[in-house]
Amino acid sequence: MFGCSRWWWNYALNKTIEEYKATGKGLSRTQLNALLPPLKKAEETEWLAECYSQVLQATTLNLTRAFKNFFEKRARFPKFKSKRSKQSIQFPQNVSRVGENLKIPKIGIVKAKIHRWFEGRIKTVTITLNPAGQYHASVLVDCECCDLPGTSDKISGVDLGLKHFAIVHDGSKVKKYAHPKILKKHSRNLAKKQKTLSRKKLGSNSRQKARKLVAKVHHRIFNARYDFCHKLSRKLVDENQTLVFENLNVKGMVRNHNLAKAISDSGWGMFTNFCSYKLEQRSGQYVEVDRFFPSSKLCSECFHLMPEMPLDVREWTCSHCGTHHDRDENAGKNLRAEGIRILTSGTEVPASGGECKTKLGPKTKFRQSSKKLETPASIKRGVVHF
């Protein structure tokens, strides 16, 4: 089924590209699905009929979604799928739980280790096979127990960094969360296994085995990062109504070779993503401040802008008002204030004029642009102080 789904994705993607080149228009989901029955009858591709038909239709849906996301500038152009990377199929319905097992159409009962018991109706089930050779099923369940409104009305600025993973400023207090340095913890193990792999003969069975061992370490690193990001984002979302982040140019930063490893190890994108959807579940707000907003260079007391602020300066004194700043605390405070300013003005691009920060004209965007912006209750009541 993995093979059929992958082949169909690549075939449909290629067809859509060709159609677009010829006519200037792509193929719709219905048009693509209509290609399937003749393919299942054709001698060369009759093996497609062995695959559960809804799996192929789910692939079509995912492809048309990928195109939609691309055209609406949320994602890059859909890629062809490789046999070597992670494999994935989706069952839109008809998967059920039988005791400790999952019953999957056309496959039957599969023994499973269920990590968390769930109630409610099973909807889409996604099954993946990672390069380490492990199968995972992700089960989407329809239930009404998760959408609890948040109880906090706090607004916090979150500065993401390398020394501390996150520095959270809630207006009065600063909390620092240590960087988990997950890659570093696994680096010796990883290096050892990569070395073994590099010594194996190309195409040999033992090379396959060594490759799986390397993939397993990568998977473990991913799991640890995933776990960390989920736990910290849950904590922050539970404690706050609004979180203000800096829109980081991770790609540009990775080009700096001294920091590349440490930045890639951070998982900031994953973290902000988790915060964003968790806030959405609770009707909270996720605010992103433009990366050109000078959160580090700006004095949070008098708004004096320092001409420069090299990365190694951890503490500094404002030349205008004399306040001594911790670099990251100051940045967190600035982000929070800028977030509040954006929320109260209610516009994506702030009006020019006014205080010195607005003169800099940072462009800012919200992740959840489809949602109407609401001023948080705490601002409405006037309890937030800049």
Active-site residue, selected from the candidate residues 159, 288, 329, 338: 159
The answer to the question of residue 107 lying near Zn ion (CB under 5 A) is no
What tokens appear for 308 in the block?
């420069």
Q: Give CA–CA dist 105/102, Å, rounded.
A: 10
What's the distance, Cα to Cα, between the start and end of the chain in Å?
57
Active-site residue, selected from the candidate residues 170, 246, 265, 329: 246
Residue choice 68, 79, 106, 320 for contact with Zn ion (CB under 5 A):
320
The answer to the question of residue 301 lying near Zn ion (CB under 5 A) is yes
Shortest Å distance, C-beta 164 to Zn ion: 23
Residue choice 243, 318, 337, 343 for contact with Zn ion (CB under 5 A):
318
- Stretches 77-85, 86-94, 140-148, 320-328: which one binds Zn ion (CB under 5 A)? 320-328
Shortest Å distance, C-beta 369 to Zn ion: 34
Q: Please say whether the beta carbons of 132 and 139 come within 8 A.
A: no
The answer to the question of residue 356 lying near Zn ion (CB under 5 A) is no
Shortest Å distance, C-beta 159 to Zn ion: 18
Note the Cα 287 to chain centre separation in Å.
15
- Stretches 49-57, 155-163, 282-290, 298-306: which one binds Zn ion (CB under 5 A)? 298-306
What tokens appear for 268 in the block?
């900031």
Looking at beta carbons only, is 325 or 367 nearer to Zn ion?
Answer: 325
The residues, ordered by sequence, that sit 6+ positions from 148 with a Cβ below 8 Å of its Cβ are 282
Per the annotation, the verdict on 159 as an active-site residue is: yes
- Give the containing element (helix H, strand E) for 58: helix 53-71
Q: By C-alpha distance, which of 41, 47, 208 is closest to 131?
A: 208
- The count of chain residues that interact with Zn ion, using the rule CB under 5 A, is 7
Active-site residue, selected from the candidate residues 265, 328, 329, 338: 328
State whether the Cα torsion 310-268-385-380 is positive or negative.
positive
The answer to the question of residue 299 lying near Zn ion (CB under 5 A) is yes
Which of helix, strand or coil describes residue 87? strand
- Stretches 3-11, 217-225, 321-329, 337-345: which one binds Zn ion (CB under 5 A)? 321-329
Residue choice 321, 349, 356, 383 for contact with Zn ion (CB under 5 A):
321
Per the annotation, the verdict on 246 as an active-site residue is: yes
Check residue 283 and give left, alpha or beta (phi > 0: left; psi -120 to 50: alpha).
Answer: left
Q: Please say whether the beta carbons of 33 and 21 come within 8 A.
A: no
The answer to the question of residue 212 lying near Zn ion (CB under 5 A) is no
User: Residue 90: what residue type?
Assistant: Q
Per-residue DSSP letter, 298: B
Instruction: Point out the residues that are catalytic.
Output: 159, 246, 328
Contact residues toward Zn ion (CB under 5 A) are 299, 301-302, 304, 318, 320-321
